Amino acid sequence: MRLALDLASKAKGQTDINPVVGCVIVREGRIVGLGAHLRRGEGHAEVHALRMAGDEAEGATAYVTLEPCSHHGRTPPCCERLIEAKVARVVVACKDPNPQVAGRGIDRLREAGISVDVGLLERESMLMNEMFNKFIVTRLPFVTMKSAMTLDGKLAAKTGDSRYVSGPQAREMVHTLRHRHMGIMVGAETALVDDPELTTRLSVPAVHPIRIVVDSRLRLPLEARMLQDRSVPVLVLTVEGSDPGKRAALEAAGAEVIDCGGGSRVDLKIAMRKLGEREIGSILLEGGGKLNGAMLELGLIDKLLLFVAPKVIGGQAAPGVFQFDGFEKMAHAIPFRDVQVERIGSDIFLGGYPDYETGDRTGGA
């Protein structure tokens, strides 16, 4: 099963809205088939592994990281392929949370007389597909917030200069993160100050995420670098009634302008719903302090990845990682669970999940 999980992990970022899945087929102590789901619309992991195993799949055991599908989508149901191949046993890491599957694949295999065991390395499989698991149930994107800060919590100097807070190893890791998310989101201020391309620069071919800019007043310049490359979509999230002339100009430049509420600021909850409707199942948030703070306050950040550089920049006007009114007491602070810490080059990497349910924040601002 660990081999199957390793095979699945190799395809992270390539399967679009689909989960990553690995499969290993074993007969009489020998591996006879290996497979992974590589791209949406193409053969699933079980199909590739069965094709490799051929006739030796009969009587074999198939180890699969996710419950075999039982419905017709872009490809035929995998449980039927396993039945046709006459495997004797299927070991499944975890059930598929997809309402179209949700135990039906396992039931179908058992109805066909195949022995099925469920739960081997379940947690590892669930974590690997945490983005898919949220989207398939809620139809809302899984939001990973990534940021780099100094020891005194600053994103940049008081002048706005932020090149570079973190070291080269951390920056290389960020491009891998971009490859593994379907969208990358920044605020208008970041787009104006940094003029980022928001692409994935890796030494191997990578999938570029859809570029998303939260821009209530349509301040994104027409000469912005992200608008010069039309091979990757740019979505501009704004409010109803924003400047029609600038809207038309941005659309002529290749951007798609999307209304998200009728107030003075983009309604981020509406924005997440509209991005989910476009099947953008995962977003890497690389915002400034205001956007980060607003997303956290609304409970829209699912995971935090933070690179802490061993340096101090100072400056009361220097932007911080989270900028919002905040809470009245330390007991109201949002804690993070399952925190991991490691060294990345000269920087410290922290990862964790916000626990919005802990604490009473009714007295917060």
In this structure, are residues 151 and 119 in contact, taking their beta carbons and an 8 Å threshold?
Answer: no
- Rounded distance between C-alpha atoms, residue 155 and residue 186, angstroms: 14
Contacts of residue 205, defined as CB under 8 A and 6 or more positions apart, other chains included, come to: none
268 annotated to a ligand binding site: no
288 annotated to a ligand binding site: yes
125 annotated to a ligand binding site: no
290 annotated to a ligand binding site: yes
CA distances 194 to 163, 164, 226, Å, are: 9, 11, 11
- Rounded distance between C-alpha atoms, residue 336 and residue 358, angstroms: 10
Q: Where are the beta strands (DSSP E) in the chain?
A: 22-27, 30-36, 61-64, 89-92, 115-118, 142-149, 183-187, 210-214, 234-238, 256-259, 282-285, 303-308, 336-344, 347-354
In this structure, are residues 65 and 10 in contact, taking their beta carbons and an 8 Å threshold?
Answer: no
Out of 28, 42, 46, 197, pick the active-site residue.
46
293 annotated to a ligand binding site: yes
238 annotated to a ligand binding site: no
245 annotated to a ligand binding site: no
Query: Length of the chain, please?
Result: 365
In this structure, are residues 39 and 63 in contact, taking their beta carbons and an 8 Å threshold?
Answer: no
44 annotated to a ligand binding site: yes
240 annotated to a ligand binding site: no
289 annotated to a ligand binding site: yes
291 annotated to a ligand binding site: yes
Catalytic status, residue 46: yes
Residues annotated in the binding site for Zn(2+), as ranges? 44, 69, 78
Residues annotated in the binding site, as ranges? 44, 69, 78, 148, 162, 178, 190, 194, 198, 201, 216, 286, 288-294
Active site residues: 46
Residues annotated in the binding site for NADP(+), as ranges? 148, 190, 194, 216, 288-294
Residues annotated in the binding site for substrate, as ranges? 162, 178, 198, 201, 286
